[in-house]
Structure 1
Amino acid sequence: MQEPFSVFFSLLNFLAHQNGLSKVTSNIPASYPLRKYYVLFAYFGMVSWIFSMLFHMRDFEFTEQLDYFAAGASVLYGFYYTPIRIFRMDQGGKKTKSVRRFWTVLCLSMYVAHVAYLKLFNWDYTYNMAANVILGVLQNSLWSWFSFKKYRNSGRLWATWPGLAVAWIILAMSLELFDFPPVWGCLDAHSLWHLGTVGPTMIWYNFLLKDAQDDIAGERLKA
């Protein structure tokens, strides 16, 4: 095992997503339209961390590509479902469905183009990092705005959790910028970055659960 701390911290992230999936399926009814997006979010997360574990166990060209492509898919999926939740693209008539369909095709096309460029034209680390960071910044900005708006309208403390998770992730990302020599030859900044994403993931699923329950309760009051 080449990078044991990165493998272990990747496992913790996998378990955070697995636990989150259990919360979603146990506490959000199947009839809730956003549930399927949250379930897919968990599966994308679990798959990406499985491939992260494999890559950090043994750095081969094949495991590296699996890790990069799975991580890219997870980030892009987060970018995909964010506006669906925030702008409630799961609701509405034919026009909304057409917009959602277009958005789905656009995101799928972006992922295919991303993989094709890396695989067929140029395995560019800088481009891959920039693409993931840009998508991450865009979705984090949307969630921060949504968090502020929801807290201002509802006054509920849990509405601030997306903002907290975003701030936590930004701080954890600084480990990738301020690198240092590995402690004991294996505990490096990259492995600590993986550790730093466990907490926000746990917060995120708790928020999704609270948000869904609040949404369902609101619909019942309207009825």
Structure 2
Amino acid sequence: MASIQEPCSVLFSFFNFLAHRNGLAKIRDRIPSDYPLQIYYIAFSYVGMASWVFSMAFHTRDFDVTEKLDYFAAGASVLYGLYYTPIRIFRLDQTEPAVKPTLLRSWTVICAALYAAHVSYLTFWHWDYTYNMAANVAAGVVQNILWSGFSYKTYQALKKPWAAWPGMIVAWIIMAMSMELLDFAPLGRMVDAHSLWHLGTVIPTIWWYNFLVKDAQQDCIIGDRLKA
């Protein structure tokens, strides 16, 4: 551990990696492979795992390359969350009405262009910490608002506790983010506010995968009823 610059941040990043890896196993095991949204959830898992691998690398050794990979991977994770959120909420994966496939293609191009512009700006123009934080917060706020609205609407329709989970998870994430606003001397020279932010995202990540599974299973049940 002596060679690791920020051991607690590395450890808690590893916990998040495991949460995504176990979530991927749940998605593959409990969501039918022909469910159209499964591929988006699998991609979410891989993006999440990659972001936490790069986080572990950066907190192990703070080099220019590890810092950039960490920031770019974190940005990809946040933007991918923004990408698949409207796909699920507005069911852009469906072929009816006919406008949905066009909207999906357009949204995919927009998100890819935004990420390319984000990375290009930081790489070729200016490595701006304030801009990077603002961009990630903005993308996070939009998806949090969308999921909170979806949670309220779904709970009102189904009256099932799991339908309210997205709103509760969003609230948890917001509270965990407050750790980033704190600034105190590391406890034991290892535990600081940033590492606690990493720790605070482990449980909601596990919780989120449980929601995705419940939501997909409910969707499949409704689909089977319509076919019947």
**TM superposition score normalised by structure 2:** 0.97
Q: Which of 154, 159, 163 is 1:155 aligned to?
A: 159
- Mapped partners of 2:151, 2:68: distance in 1: 34
Q: Which of 103, 119, 123 is 2:123 aligned to?
A: 119
Q: Matched residue of 1:30: which SS?
A: coil
Residue 54 of structure 1 aligns with which residue?
57
- Mapped partners of 1:179, 1:137: distance in 2: 23
- Mapped partners of 1:141, 1:180: distance in 2: 30
The Cα of 1:69 is off from its aligned counterpart by 0.3
Residue 219 of structure 1 aligns with which residue?
223
- Mapped partners of 2:206, 2:148: distance in 1: 17
Residue 206 of structure 2 aligns with which residue?
202
Q: Which runs of 5+ in 1 are unaligned?
A: none
Q: Which of 150, 174, 178 is 1:174 aligned to?
A: 178
Residue 13 of structure 2 aligns with which residue?
10
Q: Which runs of 5+ in 2 are unaligned?
A: none
Q: What amino acid maps onto 1:97 in structure 2?
A: P
Q: Matched residue of 1:33: which SS?
A: coil
Residue 67 of structure 2 aligns with which residue?
64
The Cα of 1:95 is off from its aligned counterpart by 1.7
User: For 1:25-36, what aligned pairs fall within 5 Å after superposition?
Assistant: 25-36=28-39
- Mapped partners of 2:131, 2:33: distance in 1: 39
% identical equivalent positions: 61
- Mapped partners of 1:175, 1:121: distance in 2: 30
Residue 106 of structure 2 aligns with which residue?
102
- Mapped partners of 2:126, 2:190: distance in 1: 29
Q: Which of 138, 142, 151 is 2:142 aligned to?
A: 138
How many residues are aligned here? Answer: 223
Q: Any runs of at least 4 consecutive aligned residues in structure 1 with deviations exceeding 3 A, and if so which?
A: none
- Mapped partners of 2:61, 2:182: distance in 1: 24
- Mapped partners of 1:162, 1:181: distance in 2: 33
The Cα of 1:92 is off from its aligned counterpart by 2.5
RMSD: 0.6
